Amino acid sequence: MDRLMIALLVVLSGTGIAPGLPSAFAAETPAGRDAAHLHYSQGVGLLSSGDLLGAKTELREALRLQPDLVQARFSLGTALYLSGDIESAIETYHTVIRQEPDLAHAHLHLGIALMVVHDWAGAQAALRTAVSLQPDSIPGHYNLGLVRDRMGDRRGAIESYREALRLRPDHAEAHYHLGLALKQNKQDEEATKEFLAAAQAGVPQAQYQVGVAYASGTGVERNLPSAISWWFLAADQEVPQAKEALAHLRTMALPTDKRSVGEARVVQDAFGTFRRSLWQQVSNLTGRAPDESVGVGLLQAGRVKEAVPVLLHEAAALSEQAQAQLEILYTNGAGGRLAPHDRRIFEYFRAAGDEKLPYPRLILARIYARGIGVEPDVKRALALLKGNPREDAQALRKELSASAKSVSTSKP
């Protein structure tokens, strides 16, 4: 299920029905009515606390006692939806709408449920009814934009997202999806503005898109260090495209037959600018040169917990000083504050090795050759060293090759 569709559940109203609606729901007897409302209230409380099974039990009992209790049926639909029983939720919302055709929330929730089962035409009809009944419905306009987008009505989607933003200018997801629709519509400059608003509000995918904009100079002045900063933010939140963008950029920092030293230097300088910007993110760490490692400075100040994530960022931004310090931490730990063989550090070297970065591959080879936190594996170490242009890597390769040969010839 799309994470944005899951997020649509923020439209839940605590009591399950909008205030001010007709409430002349007669039970067969006053006692039955009172009992039905008691079960309804208990069901809503359980629903709010996340006890979906208990909520469904209470709400069904309320409806047994008073079948026309719309509030209870609406809340039952919500409980069914949250339980993953989407088809039953859809059926329940249809029943609510037959009882109260002008209940905007019921049309809204029906539209949301229909989106989950990819009934886009049905969802569009329900959401259009919802916003016609309640024109100031922010989730109604936003979700109608999502549906129109899926149906290929880009102009309609843009219109809906903009209406949601008119009602709530800080709607981060609406900014992001409006940005996507504008980008697909070749309105790149406007799209970048929307991505930037969403990125500043913390939407990870928008942060990736802003990085793309800065890297290409689309809608903003080209600025590779800014692109790197935004991609790191997105990568920290597990956006795969951001991780891929940074990995690609790191390979561009390596001179090759097809890439000049000057072209590689541009990328190296951009990573260096990013590393220097990390000083702005730490407090009470002054009197140091901008080119020094922030992570090393934090270590020297005894701030180990802060230091490791910063060192990992610096290493991923091609700082050999940070890479060397991470090898020391991985091998020895840091007193009682960091155990040796920290998995985060090993995973960094493994990933960097896969990218064929020379110094991390040398460090990873040393880890395998010496069996530091892993089973000794000289064969793997030699494979990591093969083709490595560093002199110390070639020296280690010769040493390991000679040692392996000596062991082989000494066997009977």
SS3 labels along 189-243: HHHHHHHHHHHHCCCHHHHHHHHHHHHHCCCCCCCHHHHHHHHHHHHHCCCHHHH
Compute the distance between CA of residue 158 and CA of residue 169 in angstroms, rounded to an integer.
14
Question: Which residue type is seen at 183?
Answer: K
Question: What would the two tokens of residue 44 be?
Answer: 């809503």
Residue 405 exposed, middle or buried by CB count within 10 Å (0-12, 13-18, 19+): exposed
Kindly state the helix (H) or strand (E) to which residue 286 belongs, with its residue range. Answer: none
Question: Which residue type is seen at 242?
Answer: A
Compute the distance between CA of residue 205 and CA of residue 231 in angstroms, rounded to an integer.
10
Compute the distance between CA of residue 190 and CA of residue 332 in angstroms, rounded to an integer.
51
Q: Which are the contacts of 242, defined by CB distance < 8 A and separation ≥ 6?
A: 204, 207, 208, 211, 230, 231, 232, 233, 234, 235
Compute the distance between CA of residue 306 and CA of residue 301 in angstroms, rounded to an integer.
10
Instruction: From residue 317, give the alpha-carbon distance in Å to each of 246, 365, 390, 405.
Output: 9, 20, 19, 37
Question: What would the two tokens of residue 186 be?
Answer: 């070749």
The answer to whether the beta carbons of residues 206 and 216 sit under 8 Å apart is: no
Compute the distance between CA of residue 184 and CA of residue 163 in angstroms, rounded to an integer.
19
**CATH superfamily label, 1-167:** Tetratricopeptide repeat domain (1.25.40.10)
The answer to whether the beta carbons of residues 351 and 362 sit under 8 Å apart is: no
Where does 261-410 sit in CATH, by number?
1.25.40
Same fold, 1-167 and 261-410: yes
Which of 206, 207, 226 is CA-nearest to residue 216? 226
CA 9 to chain centroid, in Å, comes to 18
Tens digits of residue pLDDT in 353-373: 999 999 999 999 999 999 999
pLDDT in tens, the chain (412 residues): 344 334 444 444 333 333 223 333 333 456 667 899 999 999 999 999 999 999 999 999 999 999 999 999 999 999 999 999 999 999 999 999 999 999 999 999 999 999 999 999 999 999 999 999 999 999 999 999 999 999 999 999 999 999 999 999 999 999 999 999 999 999 999 999 999 999 999 999 999 999 999 999 999 999 999 999 999 999 999 999 999 999 999 999 988 867 788 889 999 999 999 999 999 888 787 767 777 899 999 999 999 999 999 999 999 999 999 999 999 999 999 988 999 999 999 999 999 999 999 999 999 999 999 999 999 999 999 999 999 999 999 999 999 998 877 665 555 5
Residue boundaries of the structural domains of the chain? 1-167, 183-220+230-244, 261-410
The answer to whether the beta carbons of residues 384 and 374 sit under 8 Å apart is: no
Compute the distance between CA of residue 295 and CA of residue 140 in angstroms, rounded to an integer.
47
Helix (H, G, I), strand (E, B) or coil at 30: helix
pLDDT of residue 411: 54
How would you write 129-163 as a 3-class SS string? HHHHHCCCCHHHHHHHHHHHHHCCCHHHHHHHHHH
Residue 321 exposed, middle or buried by CB count within 10 Å (0-12, 13-18, 19+): middle
Other beta carbons within 10 angstroms of residue 102's beta carbon come to 12
Q: Is the dihedral of CA 10, 15, 17, 20 positive or negative?
A: negative
Question: Which residue type is seen at 370?
Answer: R
pTM for this model (two decimals): 0.86
Q: Which are the contacts of 112, defined by CB distance < 8 A and separation ≥ 6?
A: 5, 8, 9, 11, 81, 123, 143
The answer to whether the beta carbons of residues 264 and 252 sit under 8 Å apart is: yes
Instruction: From residue 338, give the alpha-carbon distance in Å to each of 296, 300, 309, 326, 329.
Output: 14, 14, 12, 12, 8
Compute the distance between CA of residue 144 and CA of residue 164 in angstroms, rounded to an integer.
10
Compute the distance between CA of residue 2 and CA of residue 120 in angstroms, rounded to an integer.
14
